[in-house]
Amino acid sequence: MYRRGRPNAFMRLVNRLDVMLYGARRLSPRQCAVLKVAGRRSGTVTAVPVAVAAHRGGEFLVSMLGPDANWVRNVRAAGGEAVLRRQGRETRIVLEEVPPGRRAEILRRYLAVAPAARPHLGLRPTDPLPEFHRIAPRHPVFRIREAGVAEQRAGV
């Protein structure tokens, strides 16, 4: 359904339905959200369903399709600026990329909340941590920060 890291026609339809469902106030669990980010070429805002992994007091987004996923490329081009719609609320956020050496535990947690991602990462949440270290460089992880909070930390 994701040949060469891109969704086929069926998955594009499923993703559109997920975007509608995940953005709804009462219909979606807290770990389901919609990421909205400006396209790196067109500037048009695109919406992508995502799973939010909570880990050690932070929240994270993971690219199950790797660094060439459109949303990852768009987030990088936008300097991390995006909007997260969750349970009927939109929040301006800044996504900060986590270095590969610190991704393993987050990837494990992500697989626990996003079981559909397991075939893409090739692991289960119960696999040994060294296996997650092995795949970490291939799967970008971003820490979610509210835009105002991230700007305060940067001294803006």
Q: How far apart are CA 55 and CA 144, in angstroms?
A: 11
Given a cut of 70, is residue 152 above it in pLDDT? Answer: no
Mean pLDDT for 149-155 is 54
Domains observed in the chain: 3-153 (2.30.110.10)
* pLDDT at residue 77, as a whole number: 97
pTM: 0.81
pLDDT higher at 71 or 154? 71
Return the percentage of the chain with pLDDT > 90, whole number: 62
Tens of pLDDT along 57-111? Answer: 999 999 999 999 999 999 999 999 999 998 888 999 999 999 999 999 999 999 9
Q: Please report the pLDDT score of residue 99 as a whole number.
A: 98
Distance between CA 42 and CA 31 in Å, rounded? 29
Rounded distance, CA 97 to CA 127, Å? Answer: 24
3-state secondary structure of 65: coil
Q: What is the model's pLDDT at position 156?
A: 43
